[in-house]
Amino acid sequence: MADADDTTDELPDDVAALIGVPQYPRTADFDVERSYTYDTCAATQNGNPLLWDDAVATELAGGPIAAPTTLSLWMRPHYWQPGAAGEQVALQVHFDLKARFDLPEAVMTDNTLILHEPVRPGDRISHRQVLRSVSGPKTTKLGSGRFWVIDVEYHNQDDVLVGVERYTGFGYRRAAAEGSAS
């Protein structure tokens, strides 16, 4: 399958202007708490003493940390909350690109997690979405469309980078009589 590396200079000006620009900044609804690390460790039978034993955590990491792969959960919305209405979309830039290029289907082909400063109990995490690249028109077995790369950057309350999730998406219009939607 082709990829998004070959960003072209044929992009519409309004799309090209968005590359590298932080969008949709949001701060988490609640502070980082230890219960989710314990739940994650319980769900995966993870006995790493760094995540269970405060003495080990203090010695190695300067204090308790959240399990590193919990990074994205701090930004996930509650299932319900007062006043909430409609579906809350996690990766708005992806949906913006689908609409901008009139591509009704999309798949994520790769998902990369890059871990920086540890997340710690009591932190309040914020994130923002950054469009990194958009390819020229491509045709794959799914159909014809474009690849794009979107970073979701996570910072703590001190604006220190704690991690990045990098999504490679392919928005497309189905080839006749084949392909699958997502």
Partner 1 sequence: MTAPKLLLDQVAAGDALPALAVEVTPTTVVLGAIASRDWRPMHHDYKFATERNGVADIFLNTPNQAAWFERYVTDWTGPHGRLGRMTFRMRDSVFPGDTMTFTATVTDVRTDEAGCGWVALDVTLTATHAERGERTATTCALTVAVPTSNDDNPWARRGAAWAP
The reply on whether position 81 binds partner 1 by CB under 8 A is no
Q: Which of 92, 158, 79 lies closest to 126 in space, CA to CA?
A: 158
For partner 1, give the closer residue by CB, 66 or 93.
66
CB atoms within 10 A of CB 13: 6
For partner 1, give the closer residue by CB, 24 or 38.
38
The reply on whether position 79 binds partner 1 by CB under 8 A is yes
Cβ-contact 24, 92 below 8 angstroms: yes
Rounded Cα–Cα distance for residues 23 and 156 (Å): 17
DSSP state of 23: E
Structure tokens at 124: 């309040």
Give bridge partners of residue 173 from the DSSP assignment: 144
Q: What is the CA radius of gyration of the chain?
A: 19
The reply on whether position 7 binds partner 1 by CB under 8 A is no
Structure tokens at 20: 């590298």
Number of residues near partner 1 (by CB under 8 A): 35
Contact string 49-78 vs partner 1 (x = CB under 8 A):
xx-----x--xxxx----xxxx-xx--x--
Place of tokens 């609409």: 99
- In the complex, the smallest distance separating the C-beta of residue 161 from partner 1, rounded to whole angstroms, is 10
The reply on whether position 115 binds partner 1 by CB under 8 A is yes
**Which stretch, 11-19, 40-48, 96-104, 131-139, contacts partner 1 (CB under 8 A)?**
40-48
User: In the complex, which residues of this chain contact partner 1 (CB under 8 A)?
Assistant: 36, 39-46, 48-50, 56, 59-62, 67-70, 72-73, 76, 79, 109-118
